[in-house]
């Protein structure tokens, strides 16, 4: 069995994921856009490649990175904020073209629950996506590039808000006033569970699936972020009162009911 995995994007999620895969006995190719990080990848037993995806071209030895890779994990979030906005869909189309030139037949595409848009109520994998943000729209279009290729076994993982080491929304919300959506439920997931879900897809061959990756407990934003602020000794955020708020509560029928996945890290 070919145990070579490619992790395209060794950032906050991709780097510890690649380290975990190495520990599990996989041969891992990993990419970074940073010259300085190449040595870090190599130190962890990851074969490093300096690759930069653009809407018009791919800089770096993408064919070498993809060579002999059995499973490719695409972990490249859209950059659609600020001045340097990009065409994410074109980037993914270019990547797909390169994949077709390689022997890669299995793809894990890391997406987001933002593809569901601003719906209210319970959301599962059966819910029809109706993205409202530009990021959600481009992610959904990019998902379909890979899902519509019948020569690829592609699994889409739509993660909720990512939390973990040095990353938590309360750091930005602390002390803010008159916030909206305080009664809306949270849809978060810890880094450790993200890694376990992706690894399980590969280990148990959960291919040609769409799955939501969200912790199955959904307190309100006001309750949760107030509690997290107190834990950290931070000023609690202030939410305006609006009992008409609902928000979406994202569940995963695929993971919990079908795949029997147990989340291990509480929020």
Higher-pLDDT residue of 36, 85: 36
Which pLDDT score, from 0 to 100, does residue 82 have?
A: 62
- What is the mean pLDDT of the segment spanning 182-193? 96
pLDDT in tens, 20-49: 999 999 999 999 999 999 999 999 999 999
Q: Residue 79's pLDDT is what?
A: 85
Distance of CA 140 to the CA centre of its chain: 13
**Distances in whole angstroms, Cα of residue 40 to Cα of each of 19, 89, 150, 246:** 11, 30, 36, 44
Instruction: State whether residue 8 is helix, strand or coil.
Output: strand
Q: Is the pLDDT of residue 119 over 70?
A: yes
CA distances from 136 to 38, 84, 110, 113, 115 (A): 31, 17, 12, 8, 4
Beta bridge partners of 130: none
Phi, psi dihedrals of residue 35, rounded to the nearest 5° = -60, -40
Q: How far apart are CA 28 and CA 26, in angstroms?
A: 6
For 60-67, what is the mean pLDDT? Answer: 97
Residues 126, 30: Cα–Cα separation, whole Å = 33
When pLDDT is cut at 50, 70 and 90, the band that residue 76 belongs to is very high
Tell me how far apart the alpha carbons of residues 140 and 132 are, in angstroms, rounded to a whole number.
Answer: 11
pTM for this model (two decimals): 0.96
The per-residue pLDDT for range 218-251, each reduced to its tens digit, is 999 999 999 999 999 999 999 998 767 789 999 9
For residue 87 the two structure tokens come to: 């065409």
How far apart, in whole angstroms, are the C-alpha atoms of residue 251 and residue 64? 38
Give the C-alpha separation, 74 to 110, whole Å. 6
């Amino acid at each position: 069995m070919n145990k070579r995995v490619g992790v395209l994007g060794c950032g906050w999620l991709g780097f510890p994921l690649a380290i975990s895969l190495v520990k599990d006995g996989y041969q891992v190719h990993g990419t970074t856009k940073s010259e300085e990080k190449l040595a870090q990848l190599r130190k962890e037993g990851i074969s490093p490649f300096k690759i930069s995806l653009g809407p018009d071209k791919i800089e770096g030895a993408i064919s070498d990175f993809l060579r002999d890779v059995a499973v490719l994990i695409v972990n490249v979030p859209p950059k659609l904020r600020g001045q340097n906005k990009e065409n994410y869909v074109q980037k993914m189309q270019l990547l797909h073209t390169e994949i077709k030139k390689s022997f890669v037949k299995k793809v894990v595409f890391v997406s987001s629950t933002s593809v569901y848009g601003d719906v209210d109520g319970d959301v599962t994998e059966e819910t029809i996506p109706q993205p409202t943000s530009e990021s959600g729209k481009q992610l959904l279009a990019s998902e379909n590039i890979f899902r519509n290729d019948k020569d690829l076994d592609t699994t889409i993982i739509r993660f909720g808000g990512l939390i973990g080491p040095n990353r938590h929304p309360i750091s930005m919300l602390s002390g803010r006033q008159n916030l909206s959506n305080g009664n809306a439920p949270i849809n978060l997931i810890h880094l450790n569970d993200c890694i376990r879900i992706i690894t399980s897809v590969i280990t148990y061959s959960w291919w040609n699936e769409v799955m939501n990756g969200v912790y199955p407990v959904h307190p309100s934003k006001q309750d949760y972020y107030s509690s997290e602020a107190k834990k950290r000794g931070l000023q609690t955020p202030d939410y305006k009162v609006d009992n008409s708020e609902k928000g979406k509560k994202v569940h995963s029928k695929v993971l919990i009911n079908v795949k029997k996945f147990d989340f291990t890290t509480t929020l």
